[in-house]
Amino acid sequence: MITLTEVCNVHAVALGKVWDVAPHPHAHESESPGNFRSHDIQPFAGGMTSPAHTLVPMEIKGWVDRVNAIGPGIVKDEHAIEQVPEMLAGIHVRFEQIHPFLDGNGRTGRLALNLILVRLGWPPAIILKAQRARYLKALDRADHDDLGSLAEIIARSVIDNLHRLIPNIAGPAKYVPLEALVDDEFSLAALKQAATRGRLEAIIGPDGRYRSSKAALGAYKASKYSRRR
């Protein structure tokens, strides 16, 4: 699913151009992007201490083995799939705890997580800037063996990204859940209200959820604009 070389390549791509302009002031030449740190890291504010730099190659190899032990078949197992968010949260926080590189571990860890998700057949998890404080707090809780908050953030980010992708995959006339049509102009609540009042062309599925289309939303926006004029 993922290799040690790929992890290093992700770091090299993520940090390469930044490093060319502003390299880490305390970096040895051997710690350039794509190479493990040869410094020990001070304990983090929450008390978490990363392993000594001499242990990093062994620790990250163990991390790769842990990732590859998941196997893509788990997403087809209806009994095991519920465990996946916490498994991914545990994998993600462990990468950050190992802190294999001198700099850029956060973005590298998130990119590696997305590579894992894609290879499991799921959309990537995009952690937005507005979620940063909640994400960091969840990471701190995960450092203390409470994976719930981080698992929820990852799961919700995957779902939100899927909703962003659905309209583009489905085409403008395909009915999709209202969540997939939310944008800067219309919240989910506004779309539900419009569908309920019959102003937005929509259907109610067997699960009781409203579904509409990009084409219908475009028509609704045009009608609102006409009424305003």
Please state the pTM of the whole predicted model: 0.74
Q: What percent helix, strand, coil does the chain show, rounded to 5?
A: 60, 5, 35
Q: Chunk the chain into consecutive blocks of 10 residues (it has 229) and report each block's average pLDDT, rounded to whole numbers.
A: 94 94 90 95 85 96 94 64 86 97 95 93 87 94 94 89 69 82 91 93 82 90 72
The dotted CATH code for 4-165 is: 1.10.3290.10
What pLDDT does 112 receive? 97
What pLDDT does 134 receive? 94
What pLDDT does 105 receive? 95
Q: Is 42 exposed, middle or buried (0-12, 13-18, 19+ CB in 10 A)?
A: exposed
Alpha-carbon gap, residue 177 to 10, rounded angstroms:
34
What pLDDT does 176 receive? 86
Domain segments of the chain as ranges: 4-165, 171-228
